[in-house]
Structure 1
């Protein structure tokens, strides 16, 4: 039976970060990225599928030029978001077996970030179109702006504020590649 270091009079060693090889780090980051992207992928694909069906509804023919243009822009944004958010699959297939996992993770992470921006723009445009058609009100633009401020708050402002608040309380080792400061 082993006894903890503290019972033997030894102080536990301070944790300085994960002790993982570059390959283990890449595997962990890849798994985390895939978990994160599953949520966004599903949402973007459902929204995109819905948008594709709108053109076949009877009321679509009654839309004015602005709303038709907004619809086309929304569909294009949805397609771009779906492409970016599913890109890790293509990257993985092309990079598989080439011992380039860190490069794969970095490239896929950048495309997922772009995909999230495109998804937010798609949601914004779809919401504006829906509110314009449903209400015909000029308030639809204000409502859409308020919802997009909520997205920006949840996806960007709050996380950045949280990081700033905790910046001095925990610092990663300077050689931690997850911080982006690796040589």
Structure 2
């Protein structure tokens, strides 16, 4: 038993539930973005996009698909591996999928933002806006937590962070 006076199995169960809860918010956003991107090529203005913007759209679409796959993977793997005694493996793997999904989502959001702003203004505003989106996502999702990993735990625990 560690930290919260719970068994390893109970801790793995709790960690997995917490990971899934965190993914629920993100997966909805990813699926809305992905669904929207799937409709864009069928809209009348899409044919006006140049080759560069079509490539940018491709990056946004594929990275949204990858983010969706990564966010859905833990729940699907849990179903496939149900009662196999691999919960700790699922926790570690789910954490990695969540990080990969957030990275793919940040790429998709950045590309989609750049595409829309470029469509609206045809200028450097698109690049600046996309850079701001990318930097804010990088800081909020990766930079700040990376700095916190080097701090001592506030609750004296430290056993709940999946690898």
TM-score (norm 1): 0.81
Question: Which is richer in helix?
Answer: 2
Residue 81 of structure 2: aligned partner: 95
Residue 167 of structure 1: aligned partner: 152
Post-superposition Cα deviations, 1:80-122, rounded to whole Å, max 9, x if no partner, equal 1111111012111111011111111111211111111101111
Residue 82 of structure 1: aligned partner: 68
**How many equivalent residue pairs?**
162
Q: What RMSD in Å do the two structures reach over aligned CA positions? A: 2.0
Cα distance change on mapping 1:180 and 1:72 into 2, 3 Å = closer
1:120 is aligned to 2:109: no
Structure 1 residue runs without a partner (length 5+): 1-15
CA contact (8 A) 2:19 2:95 kept: yes
Structure 2 residue runs without a partner (length 5+): none
Q: Which moved more, 1:152-161 or 1:36-45?
A: 152-161
CA contact (8 A) 2:63 2:105 kept: yes
Indicate which of 7, 21, 30 corresponds to 1:35: 21
Q: Which moved more, 1:100-109 or 1:23-32?
A: 100-109
Bigger-Rg structure (1/2): 1
Spell out the pairing of 1:114-153 with structure 2 (5 A cutoff).
114-153=100-139
Answer 1 or 2: higher relative contact order, Cα 8 Å, separation at least 6: 2
TM-score (norm 2): 0.90
Residue 12 of structure 2: aligned partner: 26
Q: Distance in 2 between matches of 1:106 and 1:30?
A: 9
